[in-house]
Amino acid sequence: MSSRKIQRTRELFSTVEQYSNAAMDDICDEGYRFIDINVLSKVFSMLPCPDCLSHSLVFGDILKKKIGFASFLLLSCKSCAWSHEFCTSDVKQGGFEVKKRVVYAMRNIGQGYSGAKKFCSVMNMPNLPTKNNYLKLSKVLKSAAFNVATESMDRASQEVKSCFNTGITECAVSVDGCWQKRGYVSMNGCVAVISIDTGCVLDVEPMSRFCKECQVHDKLDIASVEYKQWKAEHSNCKADFKGSAPAMEPEGADRIFKRSVESMASTTQSILVVEIVRASSVYRIHTKI
pLDDT in tens, 245-272: 888 888 988 888 787 666 545 443 344 4
* pLDDT higher at 72 or 5: 72
Asked whether the predicted pLDDT for residue 230 surpasses 50, the reply is yes
Lowest-confidence region among 104-108, 153-157, 181-185, 272-276:
272-276
Q: What is the largest CA-CA distance in the chain?
A: 105
Residue 75 is predicted with a pLDDT of 92
Q: Please report which confidence band the pLDDT of residue 77 belongs to, taking 50, 70 and 90 as the band edges.
A: very high
State percent of the chain over pLDDT 70. Answer: 78
Residue 99 is predicted with a pLDDT of 85
Asked whether the predicted pLDDT for residue 126 surpasses 70, the reply is yes
Handedness of CA 162, 168, 169, 174 (dihedral sign): positive
Q: What is the mean pLDDT of residues 144-149?
A: 90
Distances (CA, A) of 198 to 147, 202, 229, 277, 281: 21, 10, 50, 19, 16
* pLDDT higher at 189 or 166: 189
Strand order in the sheet with 201-208: 201-208, 188-195, 168-179, 282-286, 273-277
Residue 70 is predicted with a pLDDT of 84
Q: How far apart are CA 62 and CA 106, in angstroms?
A: 26
Q: How far apart are CA 276 and CA 202, in angstroms?
A: 13
Q: What is the mean pLDDT of residues 230-247?
A: 86
Q: What is the mean pLDDT of residues 82-100?
A: 85
Q: Please report which confidence band the pLDDT of residue 148 belongs to, taking 50, 70 and 90 as the band edges.
A: very high
Residue 266 is predicted with a pLDDT of 44
- pLDDT digits over 7-35, tens only? 665 665 565 455 555 555 677 777 888 88
Q: What is the mean pLDDT of residues 95-104?
A: 86
Give the phi and the psi of residue 84 in degrees, each rounded to 5. Answer: -145, 130
* pLDDT higher at 17 or 195: 195
* pLDDT higher at 77 or 230: 77
Average pLDDT along the chain:
78
* pLDDT higher at 4 or 286: 4
Asked whether the predicted pLDDT for residue 138 surpasses 60, the reply is yes
Q: Please report which confidence band the pLDDT of residue 91 belongs to, taking 50, 70 and 90 as the band edges.
A: confident
Q: How far is CA 258 from the centre of its chain?
A: 29
